[in-house]
Amino acid sequence: MSQEQASYLHIPTIPTGFVRHLAEPLMERDTFPPALVEPYRELLNSRKVTVAQYSQFTERLCDALEDEWLGLLDKAVPLGSHVALLHLLYPSPDLGTALGNLNRFYSLFVDGDAELFDLSEWDSQQKVVINQHHSAVHLQIAALMRVLKLLSWLCQEQLPLVRLAFSCEAMPFDKEFAYLFGAWPSYGHRRAYIQFHSDVGSTAIAPAISAEQYAANNHVHSLLWRSEGDLEKKVYGDIAKHLAGGRFSAADVAERLHLSRHTLGRRLKEQHSSYSDILSRVRKDKALHYLHSADRPMQSIEQLAETLGYVEMASFSRAFKQWFACSPKQYWRRHVVGLQKKDK
């Protein structure tokens, strides 16, 4: 494994084009707030913008419009729509019902009888397909992310994907997408879709926080699971940086963040997280990055396990199978070589 692969940190920024796509529909309708023209131009002068800048810009945009954006449409909707959607999904008995309610809710804002998602393959393949209304790249990304985040909120965990497919051409953001979605993207498909692991359909729905709490703590435009600069993100970055070097214990992390180990654990618990959960996510993300960066089957599984901080191969093998339901070599053959050979 190269030094670049070993030290890779999944801290993505937002492409400037996302901001442009957000503003252009308003400018075409002459409804873009004049006070935000200059901030908008400043963001466009940057090749990429941070998540914090993106969130701040969209929040100011919503305030100026006195509307809110649901993230799946190219127009604003009445204030309160986001919370109304969450209250509709909250009592859903299963994910299939939640997806159906999500589709019906968004149909209120789409012309005619059109639906945003094709759910015909959900029961058989756990696949959510975007209908043709979302030709723009940023809307495809937003729609798929919204589905993933809403369903994960209902199940108290980020649900695992086996496929992330876009109908657009290849983009230079594979690492960002792999981090955001937990799956490596492929391009040029007839329609965009996400496909969950086969056992997701039986996952129990039991939201850890209420609809109001979710709405308050998870801004509709946030692309990341964690807000910029929060403790969970800091712990994630610190573990990722020191994982290969072996100094990534909870005590090590707490010391570098100038906290006691007890305080670190308590504050992470307040964010519905824990050190062990974050460590597992870092290892999973790094394994995913390594596998999709390799141009041939790995010759040293032991080397990968060591890089991820595992002392025993058995522990690494068990963790990997929990993440992906297969071995590292099987994953490489199915999801890397398979994607390369599959006719798009």
Spell out the alpha helix ranges (H) of 186-312: 211-217, 231-242, 250-256, 261-270, 275-293, 301-307
> Hey, what amino acid is at 318?
R
DSSP 68-112: B--SSSSS-B-TTHHHHHHHHHTT-SSHHHHHHHHHHHHHTTSST
Beta-sheet strand order (sheet of 117-118): 117-118, 127-130, 193-196, 161-165, 185-186
By C-alpha distance, which of 143, 108, 112 is closest to 129? 143
Token pair 């649901």 in the structure block, residue: 70
Instruction: Provide the residue-wise pLDDT of the chain in tens; the chain has 344 residues.
Output: 344 333 333 445 666 776 776 787 778 778 788 999 999 999 888 877 776 677 778 778 877 776 665 556 666 677 677 778 888 898 899 999 999 999 888 877 776 667 889 999 999 999 999 886 666 676 788 788 888 888 988 888 778 888 899 887 777 667 667 767 878 888 888 889 999 988 887 888 988 778 877 776 654 334 344 444 468 777 887 887 788 788 899 999 999 888 899 999 998 888 778 999 889 988 887 887 777 665 555 557 788 888 888 888 889 989 999 888 888 888 877 766 655 454 34
**Ramachandran region of residue 327, left (φ > 0), alpha (ψ -120 to 50) or beta?**
beta
Helix (H, G, I), strand (E, B) or coil at 48: strand
> Hey, what amino acid is at 146?
R
CA distance 6 to 306: 11
Please give the model's pTM, rounded to 2 decimal places. 0.57
Task: Round the CA-based radius of gyration of the chain to a whole number and report it.
Answer: 20
